[in-house]
């Protein structure tokens, strides 16, 4: 048994939905529709008592849960460049199909990146949040080929140098 767990710990059923902050609901809903084939579930639109729309719910093929786009410009702006969601694709061939799909839509994206285990494709959404497509099949390349310095592969902040270290 894992440390800290007991047989009486509650267990979630799974992910209910994912929520992403956006600056423009309609623009983002169109983008996710175009890029991922998502469709809006208008019956689940979230409105304030005054009727103002503050969130939309999308059904995204293959995601396994719904995606909520929440109007929150401050948070969306603060997260610009953050890679918030990584979707699995089978292999490099599948990743190349995504590249062709995005090119046909004229959607900006990274080149295929040699990541830690597999190949990675990064697609910034309209607010700069980075959607990632990562191969389930490992690339099998030598670790020396990992593109740590790629602007598309987030490795976190560099450690601060401390005196005496």
pLDDT at 160 over 70: no
The closest of 113, 124, 17, 121 to 65, measured between CA atoms, is: 17
| pTM for this prediction | 0.86
For residue 118, what pLDDT is reported?
96
Using CB atoms within 10 A of its CB, is residue 122 exposed (0-12), middle (13-18) or buried (19+)?
A: buried
- Arithmetic mean of pLDDT over the chain: 91
5-60 residue pLDDT tens = 567 899 999 899 999 999 999 999 999 999 999 999 999 999 999 999 999 999 99
More confident: 158 or 14 = 14
For residue 165, what pLDDT is reported?
39
| CB-CB contact of 33 with 63 (8 Å) | no
Taking each helix axis from N to C terminus, what angle separates 92-105 and 25-36, rounded to the nearest 10 degrees?
A: 130
Residue 112: φ, ψ to 5°: -60, 130
């Amino acid at each position: 048994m894992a440390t800290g767990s007991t047989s009486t710990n509650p267990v979630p059923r799974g992910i209910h939905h994912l929520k992403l902050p956006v600056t423009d609901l309609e623009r983002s809903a169109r983008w996710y529709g175009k890029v991922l084939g998502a469709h809006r579930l208008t019956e689940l639109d979230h409105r304030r008592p005054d009727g103002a729309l503050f969130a939309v719910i999308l059904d995204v093929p293959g995601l396994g849960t719904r995606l909520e786009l929440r109007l929150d410009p401050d948070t969306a702006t603060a997260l610009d460049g953050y890679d918030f969601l990584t979707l699995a694709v089978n292999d490099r061939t599948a990743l190349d199909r995504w590249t062709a799909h995005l090119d046909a839509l004229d959607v900006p994206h990274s080149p295929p990146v040699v990541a830690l285990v597999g190949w990675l494709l990064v697609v910034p959404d309209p607010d700069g949040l980075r959607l990632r497509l990562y191969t389930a099949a490992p690339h099998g390349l030598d670790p020396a080929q990992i593109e740590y310095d790629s602007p598309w592969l987030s490795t976190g902040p560099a450690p601060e140098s401390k005196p005496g270290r």
